[in-house]
A and B are shown apart, each in its own frame.
Chain A
Amino acid sequence: MALKMVKGSIDRMFDKNLQDLVRGIRNHKEDEAKYISQCIDEIKQELKQDNIAVKANAVCKLTYLQMLGYDISWAAFNIIEVMSASKFTFKRIGYLAASQCFHEGTDVIMLTTNQIRKDLSSPNQYDTGVALTGLSCFVTPDLARDLANDIMTLMSHTKPYIRKKAVLIMYKVFLKYPESLRPAFPRLKEKLEDPDPGVQSAAVNVICELARRNPKNYLSLAPLFFKLMTSSTNNWVLIKIIKLFGALTPLEPRLGKKLIEPLTNLIHSTSAMSLLYECVNTVIAVLISLSSGMPNHSASIQLCVQKLRILIEDSDQNLKYLGLLAMSKILKTHPKSVQSHKDLILQCLDDKDESIRLRALDLLYGMVSKKNLMEIVKKLMIHVDKAEGTTYRDELLTKIIDICSQSNYQYITNFEWYISILVELTRLEGTRHGHLIAAQMLDVAIRVKAIRKFAVSQMAMLLDNAHLIASNTQRNGICEVLYAAAWICGEFSEHLEEANQTLEAMLRPKVTTLPGHIQAVYVQNMVKLYASILQQKEQAGEKEAAQEITQLMIERLPQFVQSADLEVQERASCILQLIKYIQKLQVKEVPVAEEVIALFAGELNPVAPKAQKKVPVPEGLDLDAWINEPPSDSESEDEKPKTIFHEEEQRHSRHRQPEIDEEELARRREARKQEQANNPFYIKSSPSPQKRYQDTPGVEHIPVVQIDLSVPLKVPGMPMSDQYVKLEEERRHKQKLEKDKKKKKQKKEKRGKHHRHNSLHTESEEDIAPAHHVDIITEEMPENALPSDEDDKDPNDPYKALDIDLDKPLADSEKLPVQRHRNVETLKSPDSEAPLVEKKSKKPKKKEKKHKDKERDKGKKKEKEKKVVEEEEEEVKKGEDLDFWLSTAPPAAPTPQPQSEPGMGTAVVAESQVVKKEEREEQDEEEEDEGKKSSKHKKKKHKKEKEEKSKDKKKSKKKSHHSEEEPPESVQNGTLEDEPLPPMSSYRLLAENPYIKMTYDIQGNLQNDSQVTVSVIFENKSTSFLKSMELNVLDSLNTKMLRPEGSSVHDGIPVPFQLPPGISNEAQFVFTLQSIVMAQKLKGTLSFIVKNDEGSTHEKLDFKLHFSCASYLITTPCYSDAFAKLLESGDLHMSSIKVDGISISFQHLLAKICFHHHFSVVERVDSCASMYSRSIQGHHVCLLVKKGENSVSIDGKCNDSTLLSNLLDEMKETLSKC
């Protein structure tokens, strides 16, 4: 046996641990994958072993491999095994692995529910912590539902360490199980005022996350957050709150007004850049939400811009970046204040950091005006030339196009300039954005009629130089511009001066190397060109020239007919035949030009990209109705004639109905047509496929522009945008001079009247008239549709489910599912949930009334605001109101009301009166309780006020009300008093000799109604090495030690560790029991080998293991309602004891009972307390503890009288020791 153990530990010695694995991987750089697969095989072997330490080690290694990208989901079950190990070390490894690889699809995850619940209620705070951390990563809807109540209980844990974790995890629970939000919210809100700053910060964190997604539901918390903002000194919390306010202000501009002052103060006072930055951001949000032009806020804008300028000028690139980011937000509403920093922004364009350059570009987008557009674009063009790397250059290109085309070309005064910019951009090598340039060219040429002539000339030039574009950038998108060029030249061929030349350019053999879709456009548009040349020549009577051009087409077109591209081939062969036919006619001297040109007559109108989607369904059209009734399957062929007949009948009858109001329909149709005819944006259904001529109503509304050309349209050679800049400047100068003259005249005429133009030298936007009147045709849209109409939001938004009204009082049904006691025998014990519901059903009625009042109040709110508030009571009510808070003038004095809704707090506090035992950590908790008390006093006060208001208070409710007033923490094991508790340990001495000391503790097993776990701490007191420890007990009929399968009842269980001198370690042994009503004693022996320099000796130590009745009890929280119901049920036996000579305080007394006898306090009033516990076999044990002068009396009730009397005896013993 001893040999087996030694062998086991030798085996373990040669197991790889994590470090060995890492080292091995590093030493096998060449064949890493092979090595790792070897390791995985080893791990699989290790996982098959029974030893939990070996398993844990294996799982730890797996976690490392997961990081390297190996799937470890196959080991999910083993991970759960390690998670359920009793040792913290292993547990932590298990939970870490689970958090890395578990997810909703992991099927074994459902096995973890009980384990996690057990860990959550573990007396060791780190077990709980580890479970919470793990849960945060892999919580599923099922887990969330099953554990929500447990986690909510932990939010009131005595340890802030657990509280803050529990609070954070609630967010994950909300996401997975939205129903839990409303029941848990009051407590979450409570945590905003937790004495521990960490818990407070966690609560702020969670509420901010929630509010960010659905801000409107959290507006009522604004006063509370405002108070936190003005009182907190934790920058993390401040940042979160300030960010939250940024999300709330758009919903409530009055909130913004209130915020400005404290935020401004913070901006002035804080030295933390992060906080300063967030303050500035929120001030900006506030300013955006307020109607612009409020004079007193210009100071705030100035302050923000100033601070941002400091950030941007900072040498720290991060601050510079963020400064620019925030600046762009101001820009949207207050462009003027940003524009004055144009120098700074342009400077940033030269920054070596690309991210900063891009931010600066974004800013430029908003900074352009009619006045400075050309200048800015010129600067950008220089950057385009300088730019290294295509990505940044492409970004510049798109930005230039964005800047110029923004808001319908609003800032472009000279389109010739813009076209030449576009043409210049085509010279960029290797850009991906050819299609963008092409789209712009098309858009401008189509929508700005005045520019067509110029555009056509430029495009012709592009076509002529196509070899430059197409040759060296074959693969790049720039040849896309040829697409636009060909189309523009074809469509607007009437403006072309040397059409022949362009046509020839388009017929060059090189064209066939272009992408198919471009060739297709070429083919189509060369016909348009051809048609217009033909007409020209025919009109001029140059028949030969006309035939020549036809001949040219016939000669060159075949190269397209041979194209591999279907589209090109089809068009080309079709057109070739057409032209051959034309040639025939030409030979016969028939004039054909008119007919050919008619092929392309009419104008294409621009249509908005979203137009198709927005076409409304015409009145009376049901898209879901069958056009033809679907044949029904069940009918056999024989019956067919009948059905037809039947159908006809139906059709007939259906037909008749419209006939009745045929007139009405006709009238409507007429009206609609009329309406459509008057609506220029409606896409008409044209009766003939032929396109309309210009005089049709579709384009009639577009005024044909008369241009007074002050700029020569044709610029020789390749265009240079700079020329236009110069021309434009000259023009503007001239204009200005003229205006000045006029103004002077005006001034003489109307003196004193004019106050618009204070300074003559700053041109305002309006002063710059465009070079010529440009008519920008709006894109067509169906009636009633706006291009800006927002498309439907994503319906799969996970946060949508959390859009829950939190101000409504809780309904009966809204409760977190509470774990049901599975082992409870229905006969003996009442269901703990039934009384809860019953009792509660009375309460909400009252609440509902309150709520109704409240709603009425809300309805009246607006009126009330206008009225002078007369009644004092009214005022108190309104004090809870957000509106009231917002309308109060001094922002520094927010109402100290922690709960804005009186109805809701009460319900949940009472419901969740869950008390947890946490004795070992009690001392830490003392300080917090002091803090809590003060805040509680406040709460109590408010509640009293409220209660006075509710006149229909019933006596019978007194008890539950009482418990409501006393929040759960106050009764937590009676630690309300200030005096510290003496340290307590539940570990009792088992046996001791000079070598070793054993102490033990027995705990019930939640999962199994007939098992208890005995934890034994072995402490090596000697200077020798203790090993091969083996523990054995003599089983009784009732109580047996759980031994590994296959071993005999006389075998001992090896202790899974060895003890070096002075070291102690804990091992756990499981015992099975049948009856638990009596205490038990088991004799046992520990055998071990003492090894020192002199050699080893075999030693033994006998002990008696005492299973007290208390060790069968499990600390179980109980609600006061359920407790009351339980007592009333009458199923319980009663017994009582009295102990005299008690000198310790009541608090200590309760603590002792809680600790040593595994009870929890249900309620405590003065020197009287009710307590509850449950045995592993489901017995309910209720106690009423009363303290007299020097005595304590305990009345107990329990399902089993023997158990009760034994328990009370044990208690007596404990208490008499005091």
Chain B
Amino acid sequence: MINAILVFNNHGKPRLVRFYQHLAEEVQQQIIRDTFHLVLKRDDHICNFLECGSPQPCPCPHSLFGGSDYKLIYRHYATLYFVFCVDSSESELGILDLIQVFVETLDKCFENVCELDLIFHMDKVHHILQEMVIGGMVLETNMNEIVAQVEAQGKLEKAEGGLSAAPSRAVSAVKNINLPEIPRNINIGDINIKVPNLSQFM
């Protein structure tokens, strides 16, 4: 089971928070902070697993996740950390690959995903994630299948006219003009990511 999926940036700002069991908001934020401090200390060349029982304060104390066999599996892409908290029934390398699939799917759905996409389209990121993992269990690992489902739902949404009808889109386009230019420098797609045997896996 996956217990939580957290995405935050290099400064610990949450970009996606998905807990698969209910926790109060303060506790969630505390976990995000703790997790952030844990992964921040680790440079990019050390392993991507963090286990409870290591000397550091455990981000998932027993009282929160009801068991001691949880571990954090994370990947760091450019400005973002993708952290999965899983129990012993998940394969460590499998989850690493899953993170990779998640990021690649985001990349495909957003066309060269960057942190800004996640910031402004948190709902869409959630919808993509929901096609991969539901209730803490892995639903689909095939990227093409995930993308197909996400797109089909996107089409459905478009057919319904979307959340905001066309005119207010125009308004928000106008609003966009005043926006200070934010550099789109967080291109994930360009960064060469080393994944063990992704091709064989999927």
Contact = CB atoms under 8 A, between A and B. Distances in A.
A205 B97 CA distance: 17
A1034 interface: no
Contact of B135 (A60, A169, A235): A169
A239 B95 CA distance: 11
Contacts of B167: 9, 13, 1058
Interface in A60-78: 60, 63-64, 66-71
Is the interface on chain B under 10, 10 to 19, 20 to 34, or 35 or more residues?
35 or more
Contacts of B123: 18, 60, 63-64, 93, 96
Interface string A111-127: 00000000000001010
A82 to B, nearest CB: 11
Interface in A1056-1070: 1057-1058, 1060, 1063-1066
Residue of A15, A67, A355 with highest tally of chain B CB at under 10 A: A67
A394 interface: yes
A56 B163 contact: yes
A1065 B159 contact: yes
Contacts of B18: 100
A356 interface: yes
A829 B55 CA distance: 68
B64 interface: no
A104 interface: yes
A211 to B, nearest CB: 10
B94 interface: yes
Contacts of B197: 271-274
Contacts of B156: 88-89, 124, 126
Interface string B46-70: 1111110011100000000010000
Residue of B16, B20, B139, B152 with highest tally of chain A CB at under 10 A: B139
Interface residues of A, number: 95
Contact of A274 (B46, B55, B91, B145): B91
A277 interface: yes
Interface in A229-280: 235-236, 239, 243, 270-275, 277-278
Interface stretch (B23-31, B76-84, B102-110): B23-31
A865 interface: no
A136 interface: yes
A187 interface: no
B92 A318 contact: yes
Contact of B172 (A19, A277, A391, A394): A19
Nearest to A19: B120
Interface stretch (A160-168, A900-908, A1131-1139): A160-168
Given A89-B163, A92-B153, A208-B89, A274 B97 contact: yes
Interface string B108-150: 0000000000011111001100100011111111100100010
B55 to A, nearest CB: 4
A534 interface: no
Contacts of B121: 18
B166 to A, nearest CB: 6
A394 B119 CA distance: 41
B196 A319 contact: yes
Interface string A349-381: 000111110100000000000000000000000
A12 B137 contact: no
A63 B162 CA distance: 17
B177 interface: no
Contacts of B93: 273-274, 277, 318, 322
Contacts of B14: 67-68
B172 A17 contact: yes
A327 to B, nearest CB: 15
A136 B94 contact: no
Given A20-B172, A92-B153, A212 B196 contact: no
B51 A355 contact: yes
Given A137-B20, A354-B46, A355-B51, A53 B127 contact: no
A15 B153 contact: no
A358 B201 contact: no
A236 B94 contact: yes
B1 interface: yes
B127 A92 contact: yes
A316 B122 contact: no
B96 A318 contact: yes
A100 B129 CA distance: 13
Interface string A1-18: 000000001001111011
Given A164-B139, A169-B135, A321 B49 contact: yes
A92 to B, nearest CB: 7
B163 A17 contact: yes
A172 B94 contact: no
Contacts of A319: 196
B186 to A, nearest CB: 15
A9 B94 contact: no
Contact of B163 (A53, A133, A316, A392): A53
**Chain A interface SS verdict (over half):** helix
B147 to A, nearest CB: 14
Nearest to A351: B46
B196 A318 contact: yes
A239 B90 CA distance: 9
A636 B149 CA distance: 80
Contacts of A132: 134
Nearest to B29: A69
B77 to A, nearest CB: 16
Given A19-B120, A205-B138, A93 B166 contact: no
A239 B138 CA distance: 13
Contacts of A60: 123, 163
A358 B122 contact: no
A198 B25 contact: no
A1065 B119 CA distance: 29
A236 B134 contact: no
A322 B25 contact: no
B126 to A, nearest CB: 6
Contact of B46 (A66, A278, A356, A1057): A356
B91 A277 contact: yes
B192 interface: no
Contact of A205 (B48, B137, B165): B137
Contacts of A239: 91, 94
A13 B168 CA distance: 5
Interface in A86-109: 87-90, 92-93, 96, 100, 102-105
Nearest to A103: B22
B46 A317 contact: yes
Nearest to B46: A353
A1011 interface: no
Residue of A88, A236, A316, A1057 with highest tally of chain B CB at under 10 A: A236
Contacts of A69: 25-26, 28-29
Given A93-B123, A136-B134, 9 more contacts: A17-B164, A17-B168, A71-B24, A92-B153, A126-B153, A235-B200, A272-B201, A322-B92, A352-B46
Interface of B: 1, 14, 16-18, 20, 22, 24-26, 28-29, 45-51, 54-56, 66, 89, 91-94, 96-97, 119-123, 126-127, 130, 134-142, 145, 149, 152-153, 156-157, 159-168, 171-172, 175, 179, 194, 196-197, 200-202
27 contacts: A9-B167, A9-B168, A13-B171, A18-B121, A23-B179, A69-B25, A69-B29, A71-B25, A88-B160, A92-B157, A126-B153, A126-B156, A133-B130, A133-B134, A169-B135, A198-B145, A202-B139, A235-B201, A273-B93, A274-B92, A274-B94, A277-B93, A317-B47, A318-B92, A318-B96, A321-B47, A1066-B160
Q: A-B pairs with the 3 shortest C-beta distances?
A: A136-B135, A103-B22, A274-B93
Interface of A: 9, 12-15, 17-20, 22-23, 26, 53, 56-57, 60, 63-64, 66-71, 87-90, 92-93, 96, 100, 102-105, 124, 126, 132-133, 136-138, 161, 164-165, 168-169, 171-172, 198, 201-202, 205-206, 208-209, 212, 235-236, 239, 243, 270-275, 277-278, 316-322, 352-356, 358, 391-392, 394-395, 798, 1057-1058, 1060, 1063-1066
